[in-house]
Structure 1
Amino acid sequence: MRLINTASHDLTEFHGAKIPEYGILSHTWKPDGEVTLQQFVEATADARSPIRLWQGYGKILEACKLARQHQLEWIWIDTACIDKTSSADLSEAINSMFRWYRDSKVCYAYLADLEPGWAEPDPALSRCRWFTRGWCLQELLAPSRLQLLANDWSLIGKRRH
């Protein structure tokens, strides 16, 4: 399992029982602007990389910042932690996804299309793209702690079990 250090943004690979506590980001992908593992490594190494301007890179930085606020040194973010050019890496990720969500300290569900200040009974929550994805159910059920975040990263709800 590859994790991002929330302070340095370095990627580190962990195996078996040596996996530290981590947060996990659940989010929707946009057709452009998401950052691959290779692009993330490049942008982290080069302060002048144009990738740093992409919305997806900013999303990774915000997730790291939020995890640090919760005293988490590590975070898993699918776009930057899975090598999608490797069928073995992709296969392992798909097969391990439920366990990774279950074992996370907290899952941050970032709802990119939900404006801050949402409150019940406003139906805007049910119209969010996040709820239309195939992975949504396991990401709702597997983690012991789930935080729903609006598009400005403000907390709009949470669940603990």
Structure 2
Amino acid sequence: MASSYKYEPLPKNSIRFIELDPDLKDGKPQLKVLSCARDEAPEYISMSYCWGQDPESESIFLDDLPFAVRPNLFQLLLHLRYHRREYTEWRYFWIDAICIDQSNTAEKTEQVSRMETTYRNASTIAAWLGVPPAERNQERTGRDHISELSSPSLVDEIFTSVYWSRMWIVQELILAKNIVLLYGHLRLPWKGMSGVLQAWSTFGKSRWRHSATINLVNMTVGAAYTQEHGRALGELMRYLEHSEATDPRDRVFALLGLVEGEEREVLGTIFPDYEMSHEKVMLVTMAYLKQIYAPRPFKWVVKPQQVWSEKVFGLDKETWEKMWSETEGYETPHDLTNYSSVWNAKGIGKLLKPGQAGETFRGQKEELKRQRRKWFELRVDALRKLASESSR
């Protein structure tokens, strides 16, 4: 289904929002689009949902012009009108499929690089689980439907929703100030629901205990730590190897807002870049993981090929093995290989001499900083060289 709506260019450091009209037009949702500088953004709700594999077979109206969307987003917008009546403060919404011009690679790359800020600044993340097989309590008023979770059948529907397998939701929910789940006409505040789900996973069906839902609930328990310090990319990729993304490059890009400081600095010089192919993104990621976790002097200690399998990168085994070999030669010296030249025995001896300890320590510290900066530059150069030399 073709779209007649044409995007206006979005200035750098700007963002788009939508306003949802409470009335339908020809049975279809109608929305207004507005853009503004990020530092002038109004309070807004960020919608978290699963794109799905269905084609863009439905249409809505953007500024009175037809705009093609996937079925799940169409249902989200139909039901969002109902929830907006209950949440009167919900006026502006951010929805990636609409607020980012998906056909504009440059804009998409710039907006994805700012995704962490988009999620952090949203007043609420509203997670859309889809439409239940049979709608419940369509006319019920009030905001809290937690009591509905006494139904095992409803809990089973929530636990098995494909929503929880989506890669992007990890960043969305961990960085959120406030979360509410929308399931058809039901509204389930996360603060009350997460505890109920953990209880059901303990005392309910055994398969719920190891579900993607509980994995994410457990990750949000440590959300405050992740927001402040971040996590290692390798750790996140291993933990989420069964998660899915409509664009396979997002197996890495969707995690950038969660990685720790120095890793983010290195990776941010290369990613996100939607001009790269999926295989090249994974090739560079493999090389990076080797740089950090398996430098040549320590390969006998860490064997990343036993940790990061083809599943982590979303590749078939044959392709993964070939690409793993291609990363040979792009490693850089590991930090630990240089510590002996900085924190050496002679330097430690000087620390023990009266009057020299402070000066020696400061000198050693500055040398260590210089070395780390050099390692940082070597890593970035190696990754850029691999990206430019690879024909993938």
Common fold: TM-score over 0.5: yes
Task: Write the distance in 1 (CA, Å) between the matches of 2:185 and 2:117.
Answer: 25
**Contact 1:113–1:129 (CA<8 Å) still a contact in 2?**
no
Match of 1:63 in 2: 80
Q: Is the 8 A contact 1:26 1:108 kept in 2?
A: yes
SS at match of 2:125: strand
Matched letter for residue 132 of structure 1 = S
Q: CA RMSD in A?
A: 3.3
How far apart, CA to CA, are the structure 2 residues paired with 1:24 and 1:10? 16
Change (3 A) 1:16 1:22: same
TM-score, normalization by structure 2? 0.35
The aligned counterpart of 1:79 is 97
The CA distance in 2 between the partners of 1:33 and 1:43, in whole Å, is 19
Structure 2: distance between partners of 1:132 and 1:98: 20
Q: Tell whether the 8 Å contact from 1:24 to 1:76 is kept in structure 2 after alignment.
A: yes
What is the CA distance between 1:61 and its match in structure 2? 4.2
2:114 paired residue number: 96
Distance change (3 Å), C-alpha of 1:4 and 1:127:
same
SS at 2:53 equivalent: coil
User: Partners in 2 of 1:74 and 1:107 — Cα distance?
Assistant: 12
Q: What's the counterpart of residue 154 of structure 1?
A: 186
**Match 2:43 to one of 15, 21, 37:** 21
2:74, 2:63 → 1: CA distance? 10
Contact persistence 1:26–1:139 (CA under 8 A): yes
2:162 maps to 129
What is the CA-CA distance between 1:120 and the residue it aligns to? 7.2
Q: What CA distance in whole angstroms lies between the structure 2 residues aligned with 1:4 and 1:83?
A: 13
| TM-score, length of structure 1 as denominator length | 0.76
Of Structure 1 and Structure 2, the greater helix share is in 2
Unaligned runs of 5+ in 2: 1-14, 22-29, 137-147, 193-223, 225-392
Q: Percent of aligned positions with the same letter in both sequences?
A: 21
Q: Which residue of 2 aligns with 1:6?
A: 20
Change (3 A) 1:114 1:101: farther
Q: SS of 2:130's equivalent?
A: coil
Structure 2 CA distance for partners of 1:98 and 1:50, relative to 1, 3 Å: closer
- Structure 1 distance, partners of 2:67, 2:121, is 34
CA deviations on 1:96-147 (whole Å, 9 max, x unpaired) are 1121111111111011165654447634433211111111211221111100
Tell me the amino acid that sits aligned with residue 191 of structure 2: R
Q: How far has the Cα of 1:44 moved from its partner?
A: 4.5
Unaligned runs of 5+ in 1: none
Go from structure 1 to structure 2 and tell me whether the alpha carbon gap of 1:59 and 1:125 turns closer, same or farther (over 3 Å shift).
closer
| Structure 2 CA distance for partners of 1:153 and 1:90, relative to 1, 3 Å | farther
CA displacement at 1:57 relative to structure 2: 3.0
Asked whether the 8 Å contact 1:35–1:80 carries over to 2, the reply is no
- Give the aligned residue type for 1:66: H
- Say if 2:31 and 2:62, in contact at 8 Å, map to a contact too: no
| Bigger strand fraction | 1
Q: Equivalents in 1 of 2:106, 2:38: separation in Å?
A: 17
Any idea what SS the aligned residue of 1:83 has? coil
Deviation for aligned residue 1:94: 1.4
Confirm whether residue 138 of structure 1 aligns to residue 171 of structure 2.
Answer: yes
Q: Deviations over 1:56-84 (max 9, x none)?
A: 33422433553464212210011111101
Question: CA distance change for structure 1 residues 16 and 81 in 2, over 3 Å: closer, same or farther?
Answer: closer
> Retained in 1: the 8 A contact 2:75–2:130?
no
> What SS does the aligned partner of 2:31 have?
coil
Greater RCO, CA 8 A, separation 6+ = 1
CA distance in 2, matches of 1:45, 1:61: 16
Q: 1:120 to 1:104 in 2, by over 3 A?
A: farther
Q: How many residue pairs end up in the alignment?
A: 155
